Amino acid sequence: MFADGSPQEAAPPIDIDAYDPFELFDRSMGADEVRDPYPEWAVALEQAPVRQLDPSQLQGVEQAAAMGIEMPDVWEVLSHKAVSQVLRNGKAFSSSGYAAAMGVVMGPTILVMDEPEHSRYRGLIQTAFSNDSLAHWESDVVRPVIDRFIDDFESRGHADLVRDLTFGFPVHVIAGMLGLPTEDLPRFHRWTIALICVAFDWQLGLAASAKLAEYLTPIIEQRRERPGEDLISLLAQAELDGHRLDNDHILGFLRLLLPAGAETTYRSSSNLLFGLMSTGQLAAVRDDRTLLPQAMEEGLRWEAPLTGIGRLCTEDTEVEGIVIPAGATVAVNLGAANRDPSRYERPTEFDIFRPQKQHMAFAFGPHRCLGMNLARLETNVLFDRIFSRLPNLRPDPAAKDVHITGRGFRSPRELPVLFG
């Protein structure tokens, strides 16, 4: 493929800084076009837990036809049972399908690996994301980062909590854990989002991949020689079968961790704020902080920030009585599963007091989100700081039609609030 197997060499010379990747990515994920995909998914689920999608309705169909590419056979799983069956069975439902796009811009990463390779690589970093290991990041990184963001608007008495807080803080947290300099953040936050734009803009994704490699490689080498307490140092020291990880594999981890850590927690915490404020349940959690964990999980169930992931079917496999054929691309609808009426009463309602049952927002099986403990920790600290520092937080009555939007990724574009 490329001379050294890495994607950066093939990156075409485009001016990445001329793009607004945040806006581009949001739009490609249906922001402002798709307000609520859930009714359509509910109708589909009522008809069958698994369905074959009409190829003419797939995204990118015209582009593919123009390029002479045949559209894949796509099947969608919607029920909670079907989704867990698919995600549990990594042999029949492989993650290798991501290799064609994400794999090219990220390099070798656990996201695209199957067992047993996947567990060996994931094991290198898994303990760093356990609750015990995360404890010191709370005081060293998460809390100071969130407090710095709040410092900037606390005295104003009003804010847009998306622009002023939720959008920026998770990337500062992951950058802090990686030990990356704060002053470089605006640049690599842009590159991080541009990287995942590969799904619809190949050149932009490749250019971002190259920029990140150029920026991160000297840092990896420096940490290999002089390790610190950060996650890059951990990866630079990690050994597999007696060999240190090479730069490509470390870059793969970093190119995955940055967008995975940045894009999701910002949206999930925005969705939770929106859910709590729009249904009048904010006060209950503010007055009894022990309710926060269940509110968090209900927010993730009700409005998962990432509603769908993909798998490749490797052998004819029956799922809830329907055979998905070998070679099919499988669209795993986490959003529909989270509102499956056979599992949840009143599934469309955000109700922090409903009985807790495991949701699918973090997926399931071997690829279950590596960063879920971190996401929970970040959200916990975020709400603790919001409740302590922004008294009487309430939606700004002057704001019109604030709502959650998007299909693949979902969150509100703004959250105007008053406080004090």
Residues that bind ligand HEM (CB under 6 A): 110-111, 122, 174, 256-257, 260-261, 264-265, 268, 305-306, 309, 361-363, 367, 369-371, 374-375
| Least Cβ distance, residue 225 to ligand HEM (angstroms) | 25
Residue 57 carries which side chain, given as an amino acid letter?
A: Q
Strand spans (E) along 65-153: 74-77, 93-94
Measured from each CB, the residue nearest to ligand HEM is 371
| Least Cβ distance, residue 112 to ligand HEM (angstroms) | 8
| Least Cβ distance, residue 119 to ligand HEM (angstroms) | 9
CA dist 90 and 116 (Å) reads 10
Comparing CB distances to ligand HEM, the nearer of 205 and 335 is 335
| Least Cβ distance, residue 51 to ligand HEM (angstroms) | 20
Q: Helices 169-178 and 143-151, interaxial angle, to 10°?
A: 140
Comparing CB distances to ligand HEM, the nearer of 223 and 367 is 367
Comparing CB distances to ligand HEM, the nearer of 124 and 306 is 306
**At 191, phi and psi to the nearest 5?**
-65, -35
CA dist 286 and 58 (Å) reads 43
Comparing CB distances to ligand HEM, the nearer of 256 and 312 is 256
Comparing CB distances to ligand HEM, the nearer of 63 and 356 is 356
End-to-end CA distance of the chain: 58
| Least Cβ distance, residue 130 to ligand HEM (angstroms) | 13
| Least Cβ distance, residue 97 to ligand HEM (angstroms) | 9
CA dist 265 and 169 (Å) reads 9
Comparing CB distances to ligand HEM, the nearer of 19 and 362 is 362
List 318's β-bridge partners, or say none: 323
User: How does 140-155 read in b/e, with b if 16+ C-beta sit within 10 Å?
Assistant: ebbbebbeebbeebee
**At 394, phi and psi to the nearest 5?**
-155, 155
CA dist 139 and 381 (Å) reads 10
- Three state DSSP letters for 31-45: CCCCCCCHHHHHHHH
| Least Cβ distance, residue 363 to ligand HEM (angstroms) | 4
Comparing CB distances to ligand HEM, the nearer of 79 and 268 is 268
